[in-house]
Chains A and B, each alone.
Chain A
C-alpha cells in the first residue's frame, strides 16, 4: 500500500518539494518565528538544489490525475533548468535580501511562481495549463513591487498585472475557441481533432497571442522595458530568465505537438513575428541608457532568435531551444548578477555609470564581459553554440533568405553589446563605481555562471544529452 502511494507521488516530486518549502515558510510566518535572513536563504537554496537534482532521478513517462499531468524526461529536465536558474538568482540576491524585511514573503511568492511554471510545463490539459500559468504570473506582479519604498516599482507591478491580465483574457478566449473547434481541452484530443479552418486558426492566434505577451514577442512587448526597469534587479532577472524560459518550453510542446496540424499557419506567423521581434529589439536596444532597460530589449531580441529554431524540425528544433535556454540562463545571469550587485551596493543602474568599471572591479568586469559575449554569440562562450544551433535548425526550413537576414541582425546586436564593453574599458577618466566587496554566495554564483558559459558550449555532452531527451519527447 505504502509503495503504491509512493509510486503515485513520485512523478510530482519536484512540485512537492516546492510546495513543502512554501508551507514551511508560511507556517513559520504564522507562528511568528523570525528567522535569521542568512539562515533562511541557506536552507531555501539547499531545497532548490535538491529540486534540481530530483529532475534527474526516476523520470520515466507517467501520466496521472485524469490525464492532466505528465512527466517526461524532457519535462523534468526543463524544470531542473528553471529551478537551477532560480537557485542562481537566489544566490545573487544575497546582498539585497540580507536587509530586506519581507524575505519570507519573497521566497513564498518566488516559489509559488516557480510551482506554477512546473505545473504549466507538465500540463497535458488546457485547464491545468491555465491554472499553472496564472499561478506563475500573479506572484510575479507582487514581486515586481518588492522595492517597497520605490514608486517606480509599484508602477512596474501595475503595468505588469494589466498586461498579464490582458494576455490571460486573450488566452482564455483562445482556449474556449479551441474547445469549440476540437471538442476537448486535453492536449492529445486537440492534436488529433484540430483541422485547418478559420475558426481554429482564430483560436490558435488568440491562444498564441496570450503566450506571446508572456515572452514579450513584438508587438506584445510594450510592458517589458518599463517592468524590467522598475522591478528589483532580482525580479527582473527572474522575469527575463525563468519566466520566459518556462513559456518557451511550453510553446515547444504546443507548437510541435498540440498544434501540429496547423503547422503551415503557425510557420508563417512565427516567421513574421520573429523578424519583427529581432528588428525591433535590436533598434530599441541601440539607444538605451539604463542597463535594465537595455537588457529588456536585448532579451526581446534573444527571444526573436530563439523563435527561429521553431521553424525547423521538431527534435532538432526543441533540442536547440532547450539548449539555448540553458546557455541563456548562465549568460543572462552573469550580466544580471553584476547589475544586481552594483545596484544593491551603489544604487547605480545606468550604463554610463559602468565607465571605467574594469579599473576598479576587474573580476566583475570579466563576469559581465563573458555574459555579454555569450549573449552576442561569440566563441568560445556557449552563446556561440546556442545561436549556431538555433539558426542551423531554423535553416532547414524553406526560409533561407529570411534566416540570412536574421543572421545579419546578429551584427547589430553585437554592436550594442560591444557598446557596453567599450564603456567598461573606458580609461580616459576615473571610474564611477568604487571597488565592490563581493559576498561569498554571489561569488559562488558567478563562478557557476562563468563555468556554465564556457562548459555548456565546449562540452558537447550537454547538447547531446538534451538532444536525446528531445528525441524521446516526439
Chain B
C-alpha cells in the first residue's frame, strides 16, 4: 500500500502548489512535500526490509496491481526491490537539494517548483513501475518538464539546447516504444503481457530478443548518454538552471541506466549475452571520449557535462560485463554519480551566482571568499576522481573488479581502458580546483563574493552526507542491491 504514496505525495504537492495563491508559501510547500516524500520512502524501505527478510531474497515486493486499460492488458502495477529502493533514495535526496539550491529563484517560481516536482514524479514512478507501459509513461513524464525548465529558466542557447535535448530523448522513447510493442506482440503462446516479471519468467524467444534488444538498448542508452547518442548532454546541462542540471545529471541519466538494468536482467537476458561485446565497446569509447573531451573544456558546466558521459560509461560497462559484481557496481555508480554530479552542479551554480562567470580561466582564489562552497566543490571533485573514502572510489572499484572477473581478453582491455580514464579525470578535476579555488584572487562584479547562505549549505550538506555514506559504508547499500541482483535468473551470469 505504502508504495502508492510514492506517487500520491508528489501529485498532492503539485496540486497544492497549483492552488496556492500566496507566493511566499510556494517554496516551503515544495520543500515540505519533498521531505514527506523522503519519509514515505524511508517507510517503504522499512516495510521492504521487513518483507525481504521474511522471504530472504531480493524479489519485487509490496506490489500493487490494478487493471488499467483492460482490453490492452495494461496494468497499473508497481512494486519495489532493492535496486529501486536505492534509486528512490537517490532521487529524494537530489530533489530536496535541488529545491534548496533554487531557494532564491524569483522568476515564475510557482511554475518552476511545479515542474521540478513533476519531474521527480516521473522519476519516482519510473523506478517503481513493473508494467512496461507504466514505465514508459513515467519515463516520458520526466522528459518534457526538462524542456520547459531549460527554456524558461535556462541561459545561453537555451531554446536550441532544450529542443535538442527533448527531441533526442523523445526519439529514444519512440524506439523504446517500438521495442515494447515488439515484446507485446511476440510472446510465446500468443500472450500479450506487459508485466516485466511475467515476461522474465516466460522467456521471450531468442530471435525476438535479438530483434528487439537494439530498440530498447538504444532507447534507454540515449537517456544515459550512450556514445554516440550522448550529444544532448553537453548542450542540455550547461543551458539548464542549476536545479535542472542537478536533476538532469543526477536523476535523468539514471533513468536510462535503471531501464537498461531491467532490460538486461529481466526482459532479454539472452540477447544481452549476445550484444555484450558491443555494449562494452561503446561503454569503453564513451568513458575515454568523455574523459578526453572534458580535458579541453573551459566552462565548468561543460566540464561536468562531459565528465558525466565518462562516468555514465562506467554504468554501461558494468551492465555489459554481466557479472553480479559488475552489475552491483553499475547500480553503485549510478548512485555515486548522481550524488556527486548533483553536488558539482550545485557548487557551480553557487559560484556562478556570485562571480557571474563559469569560465575556468576567469576565476581564481575563490577559496578565500567562499570557503564552504569551495569545500563542497573540492569534495565533489575528489569524489569524481575516485578518492578512497568517497563514493566514486567504491562504485568505480566495484565495476572494475566485477569487469575483471570476465576472463575474455578483449573485455579486460576495455577494463584497463576504463581504469586508465580515472587518471585523466584526476587531471581535469585537479586543474579546475587549482585554477578556480587557489591562486590569485580576481576581481568580480560583486565586490566581495559571499559564502553560501543557509539553504545552499543545507543542499551541500545533504549531498555530501550521501557521498560519504556511499564511500565509507557502501555495505548499507550493498545489503539492498546485492540480493536483488542475485535474485535474477542465473542464466545471465555465464
| Interface residues of A, Cβ cutoff 8 Å to B | 316, 319, 373, 378-380, 384-385, 388-389, 391-392, 395-396, 400, 403-404, 407-408, 410-411, 414-415, 418-419, 421-422, 425, 427, 460, 463-464, 467
Give Cα distance in the complex from A464 to B67, angstroms: 11
Give Cα distance in the complex from A414 to B178, angstroms: 17
Contact A427 B71 (CB under 8 A): no
Contact A378 B140 (CB under 8 A): yes
Contact A415 B141 (CB under 8 A): no
| Pick from B69, B144, B167, B185: contact of A378, CB under 8 Å | B144
Contact B184 A316 (CB under 8 A): no
Q: Is residue B152 within 8 Å, beta carbon to beta carbon, of the partner chain?
A: yes
Q: Which residues of B contact A378 (CB under 8 A)?
A: 140, 143-144
Residue of A nearest to B186 (CB): A400
Contact A425 B152 (CB under 8 A): yes
Contact B181 A411 (CB under 8 A): no
Q: Which residues of B contact A410 (CB under 8 A)?
A: 170, 174
Give Cα distance in the complex from A42 to B448, angstroms: 66
Contact A391 B71 (CB under 8 A): no
Contact B72 A389 (CB under 8 A): yes
Contact A463 B69 (CB under 8 A): yes
A395 and B185 in contact, given A379-B140, A411-B170 (Cβ under 8 angstroms)? yes
Contact A392 B144 (CB under 8 A): no
Contact A384 B137 (CB under 8 A): yes
Count of chain B residues with a beta carbon within 8 Å of a chain A beta carbon: 31
| Pick from A373, A400, A419: contact of B182, CB under 8 Å | A400
A51 to chain B, nearest CB (A): 28
Q: Is residue B408 within 8 Å, beta carbon to beta carbon, of the partner chain?
A: no
Contact B71 A411 (CB under 8 A): no
Contact A422 B159 (CB under 8 A): yes
A415 and B174 in contact, given A379-B137, A392-B181 (Cβ under 8 angstroms)? no
Q: Is residue B188 within 8 Å, beta carbon to beta carbon, of the partner chain?
A: no
Q: Is residue B166 within 8 Å, beta carbon to beta carbon, of the partner chain?
A: yes
| Pick from A316, A373, A395, A425: contact of B151, CB under 8 Å | A425
- Chain B 148-180 interface residues, beta-carbon cutoff 8 Å to A: 148, 151-152, 159, 162-163, 166-167, 170-171, 174-175, 177-178
Q: Is residue B68 within 8 Å, beta carbon to beta carbon, of the partner chain?
A: yes
Contact B68 A460 (CB under 8 A): yes
A19 to chain B, nearest CB (A): 36
Q: Is residue B54 within 8 Å, beta carbon to beta carbon, of the partner chain?
A: no
Contact B167 A415 (CB under 8 A): yes
Contact A403 B166 (CB under 8 A): no
Q: Which residues of B contact A380 (CB under 8 A)?
A: 137, 141
A464 and B69 in contact, given A379-B137, A422-B151 (Cβ under 8 angstroms)? yes
Q: Which residues of A contact B181 (CB under 8 A)?
A: 391-392, 395, 400, 403
Give Cα distance in the complex from A120 to B267, angstroms: 47
A407 and B177 in contact, given A380-B141, A427-B152 (Cβ under 8 angstroms)? yes
Q: Which residues of B contact A388 (CB under 8 A)?
A: 133, 177
Q: Which residues of A contact B70 (CB under 8 A)?
A: 460, 464
Contact B141 A379 (CB under 8 A): yes
Residue of B nearest to A392 (CB): B181
Residue of A nearest to B136 (CB): A388
Contact B69 A460 (CB under 8 A): yes
Residue of B nearest to A410 (CB): B174
- Chain B 38-96 interface residues, beta-carbon cutoff 8 Å to A: 68-72, 74
Residue of B nearest to A380 (CB): B141
Q: Which residues of B contact A391 (CB under 8 A)?
A: 177, 181
Residue of A nearest to B158 (CB): A422
Interface mask (B115-144 → A, CB under 8 Å = 1, otherwise 0):
000000000000000000100010011011
Contact A414 B166 (CB under 8 A): yes
Q: Is residue B147 within 8 Å, beta carbon to beta carbon, of the partner chain?
A: yes
Q: Which residues of B contact A419 (CB under 8 A)?
A: 163
Q: Which residues of A contact B159 (CB under 8 A)?
A: 422
A455 to chain B, nearest CB (A): 14
A454 to chain B, nearest CB (A): 12
A392 and B163 in contact, given A380-B141, A407-B177, A425-B151 (Cβ under 8 angstroms)? no
| Pick from B147, B167, B178: contact of A395, CB under 8 Å | B178
Contact B170 A421 (CB under 8 A): no
A411 and B174 in contact, given A379-B140, A395-B185 (Cβ under 8 angstroms)? yes
A389 to chain B, nearest CB (A): 7
Interface mask (B208-248 → A, CB under 8 Å = 1, otherwise 0):
00000000000000000000000000000000000000000
| Pick from A319, A396, A414, A422: contact of B170, CB under 8 Å | A414
B46 to chain A, nearest CB (A): 30
Give Cα distance in the complex from A396 to B186, angstroms: 10
Known: A384-B137, A400-B178, A460-B74. 20 other contacts (CB 8 A): A378-B143, A380-B137, A380-B141, A384-B140, A385-B69, A391-B181, A392-B72, A395-B178, A395-B185, A400-B182, A408-B174, A418-B163, A418-B166, A421-B148, A422-B159, A422-B162, A422-B163, A425-B152, A460-B68, A464-B70
